[in-house]
Amino acid sequence: MLDDHFNYSERVKSIRGLFVLRGMLMMIIGAIFTFLSVFNPDIGILNSYTAWLPLAAILLIILSLTVIFDAFLSSGEEAFLIHANLAITDILLSIIILAELHKDVTMLALLIAFYLMTRGMFRIISAIKIRFTYSRHVIISGVIGFLLGALMWAQSNTIDIQMISILLCLELTIRGWSLYLFGIWIRKTKKQKQNQHGLNLYDENS
């Protein structure tokens, strides 16, 4: 099973530290934006009071660019397609958020709700399929993300920009936590594989 996990990590690897770094940044900044969206929502951005939603969208674009970087460095078409698909989805969502801030809040809420539920389901299915050390944590994060989307969907007719900002920033925080755990697992798996390889060489030379 270790060999299977290592082979998977090799297919998705680019710069392993980038997974951990991106996860930490997403988790920390997402948590800060969530806190500010709750306790200091009356901030003027893009000529209107839109809480921290525009900055969350900009953060998503920046992080998506690093995912595209991962896509081009990943070994294998499967890894490339996964990274590219996730990045393009995030960028398009962010552009729509920035474009629709002053328009129909209900439509925006429904779009982001669909995004949250889709991302939550993706984490759940991925964790079940890969079955790595932190699968349970990622499944929990996926369930939370799905429930955040379901909540936004249920309240789409009455929800305001502040609540949309809070729920999206929470998703970024939880997703960052999952990505951080995934990066840690890849790092540990490679180290275990290297140690195992070293022991095999020692046994052959003994």
**For residue range 102-117, what is the model confidence (pLDDT) as tens digits?**
788 899 999 999 999 9
Q: pLDDT by residue (tens digit) across 137-195?
A: 999 999 999 999 999 999 999 998 889 999 999 999 999 999 888 888 877 776 655 54
Amino acid of residue 112:
I
C-alpha angle 129/135/139, rounded to 5°? 90
Q: Where are the domains of the chain?
A: 2-205
Count of CB atoms situated within 10 Å of the CB of 27 = 19
Mean pLDDT, the chain, rounded, equals 80
Is the predicted pLDDT of residue 202 greater than 70, yes or no?
Answer: no
**pLDDT score, position 31:** 94
User: What percent of the chain lies above the pLDDT cut of 70?
Assistant: 78
pLDDT (0 to 100) of residue 28:
94
Specify the pLDDT at position 67: 82
The whole-number pLDDT of residue 14 equals 46
Euclidean distance between CA atoms 190 and 11, whole angstroms: 12
Q: Calculate the alpha carbon distances from 71 to 16, 51, 130 in Å.
A: 13, 32, 19
Let me know the angle formed at the C-alpha of 182 by 20 and 18, rounded to the nearest 5 degrees: 25
Condensed to tens digits (0 to 9), the pLDDT of residues 73-97 reads 766 677 778 778 888 999 999 999 8
